[in-house]
Amino acid sequence: MTEIGHPFRDPGLLAQALTHRSAGAPHNERLEFLGDSLVNLIIAEALYQRWPQVDEGALTRARAELVRESGLAPIARDLDLGSRLTLGPGEMKSGGHRRDSILADALEALVAAIYLDAGFEACRAAVLPWFEPAMAALPPPHKVGKDAKTRLQEWLQGRQKPLPVYALLSESGEEHAKTFQVSCTLTEPHVVTEGQGGSRRAAEQTAAEAALAALEALREARAG
């Protein structure tokens, strides 16, 4: 498992980090508890150094953006943790190795395993490169933490326009892996977009992002 950037002296720690509780003990829940705090510390320190003039609020929002489940799961996929997880039969059948929550927990457990295996300096050296692309992609500090729905609402309120209306169009798939299709309708200007996601909230965010893009296209068209 060379992708993680750390050769384990104690392979048992690595095995435990990648063992879900559905597979029995020893599993990774205690490691996950420790890893959560380590990830928060490592990212907080990195942001503190990267943005020396930024206030606490923006730093807190940026950290939350990076360490939430939807930020950790893609890193776990980049490290191919899903294929290495040890799961119980039920989780294997339901596709647990693809689920964001299980992948994010495994990533946090892996961070703790590295820390216990080699100490904080080695842990930080291994973990920071995993987050580097996401940190580089963060928006300017004053915009961090504002999701698409919030930005769309602020855009409309700032121009005294009616707020968007979101509607669920459809949901499909198995109970553990549903897909939601949602519309976002603006009346002034008239814009209708759609979004898809693994939850209604995620689908609404996608639809709001599309609405913001449509508003920007309208603005550019009028300016041209």
Cα 34 to Cα 110: distance, rounded to the nearest angstrom: 10
Q: Is 147 annotated as belonging to a binding site?
A: no
The DSSP secondary-structure symbol of 54 reads -
Spatial contact of 170 and 182, defined as CB atoms under 8 Å apart: no
Q: Pick the catalytic residue: 65, 91, 108, 204?
A: 108
Cα 117 to Cα 105: distance, rounded to the nearest angstrom: 18
What Rg do the C-alpha atoms of the chain give, in angstroms?
21
Spatial contact of 21 and 29, defined as CB atoms under 8 Å apart: yes
- Looking at the chain, how many residues does it have? 224
What strands lie across the sheet with 191-197, from one edge to the other? 165-172, 179-186, 191-197
Cα 156 to Cα 147: distance, rounded to the nearest angstrom: 14
Cα 194 to Cα 185: distance, rounded to the nearest angstrom: 9
Q: Pick the catalytic residue: 36, 117, 204, 209?
A: 36
55 is catalytic: no
Cα 66 to Cα 138: distance, rounded to the nearest angstrom: 9
108 is catalytic: yes
Q: Is 55 annotated as belonging to a binding site?
A: no
Q: Report the DSSP beta bridge partners of residue 180.
A: 171, 197
**Residue positions forming the annotated binding site:** 32, 105, 108
**Residue positions forming the annotated binding site for Mg(2+):** 32, 105, 108
Positions marked catalytic: 36, 108
